A and B are shown apart, each in its own frame.
Chain A
Amino acid sequence: MKILYFAWLRERLNRGEEDVSPPAEVATVADLIDWLAARDEAFAHAVEKRALIKAAVDAKLVKHDASIAGAHTIALFPPMTGG
């Protein structure tokens, strides 16, 4: 699956996207964040305050307990500042 990063999360990670293949037990957005954090210290540091990380699964805004089963694109980003 493809992961997209935006705003300061993208800057801190120094990448806007990456392709990953998490194992089957990584079932939710929260699991994915934990799994990504376990393999990358910079990522773990950037997402330390979990409440500041918002997520979308296939371009739909979701909460961290949402399933990622069968998802093509997951986006992770800071709180939005539109308008």
Chain B
Amino acid sequence: MSVRVSTESFDPGAEVNAFLKAANGAGAAVTFTGVVRSRPDDPITALTLECYPELASNQLTAIVDLASARFNLLAATVIHRYGTLGPGEPIVQVMTLSPHRDAAFKAAEFLMDYLKTDAPFWKQETGPKGTHWVEAKTEDDVAKARWE
């Protein structure tokens, strides 16, 4: 189980390959990468993530432990960046390893749902209209609640 919180950029492909190399014949790996979104109707030029690194590390470790126990994972990795990122840059990577795909898919969703509401990062978007803090979404609370 591994957790990384950093301002450094990461290479999602390289992370997946390294994760698979350590898979040792397990049947199912699910990998998810969250990237900075910018749409033509809602363009953004930068996404800045503020972080409380000490708490983030504690929270991510607790969330990964929770997922591992609940879904009997063989391995799980969460990588989360903070600092200022541009459109298309990776923010977060979640990777889960299990004997079968059902648990690997579910665990990846579980991890992302928990990250959204329980990991101390705060997003600020910059676009043509200026800079604003991204508001926490009720859908994210609902998504997390379905696991409780």
The interface residues of chain B lying within 8 Å CB-to-CB of A10 are 50
Are B52 and A82 neighbours in the complex by a CB distance under 8 Å?
no
A80 in contact (CB, < 8 A): yes
| Of A56, A60, A78, the contact of B122 (CB 8 Å cutoff) | A78
User: Contacts A81-B123, A83-B92 hold; do A56 and B34 have CB atoms under 8 A apart?
Assistant: no
Name the segment of A1-9, A18-26, A63-71 touching the other chain. Answer: A1-9
User: Contacts A6-B52, A60-B58, A61-B55 hold; do A83 and B112 have CB atoms under 8 A apart?
Assistant: yes
Are B52 and A75 neighbours in the complex by a CB distance under 8 Å?
yes
The interface residues of chain A lying within 8 Å CB-to-CB of B91 are 83
Are B115 and A6 neighbours in the complex by a CB distance under 8 Å?
no
Are B52 and A56 neighbours in the complex by a CB distance under 8 Å?
yes
How many residues does chain B have at the interface if contact means C-beta atoms less than 8 Å apart?
28
Minimum CB–CB distance from A56 to chain B (whole Å) comes to 5
Minimum CB–CB distance from B111 to chain A (whole Å) comes to 9
| Of A56, A75, A81, the contact of B121 (CB 8 Å cutoff) | A81
Bound-complex Cα distance A79 to B135 (A): 8
Bound-complex Cα distance A81 to B34 (A): 13
| Of B34, B58, B122, the contact of A80 (CB 8 Å cutoff) | B122
The interface residues of chain A lying within 8 Å CB-to-CB of B123 are 81-82
Residue of A nearest to B121 (CB): A82
User: Contacts A7-B122, A56-B120, A60-B58 hold; do A82 and B92 have CB atoms under 8 A apart?
Assistant: yes
Query: Which of B's residues lie within 8 Å of A, judged by CB?
Result: 34, 49-50, 52, 54-56, 58-59, 80, 91-92, 112, 115-124, 133-136, 140
Query: Which of A's residues lie within 8 Å of B, judged by CB?
Result: 4, 6-8, 10, 56, 59-61, 75, 77-83
Query: Closest 5 interchain pairs by CB?
Result: A79-B136, A82-B119, A7-B122, A82-B121, A83-B115
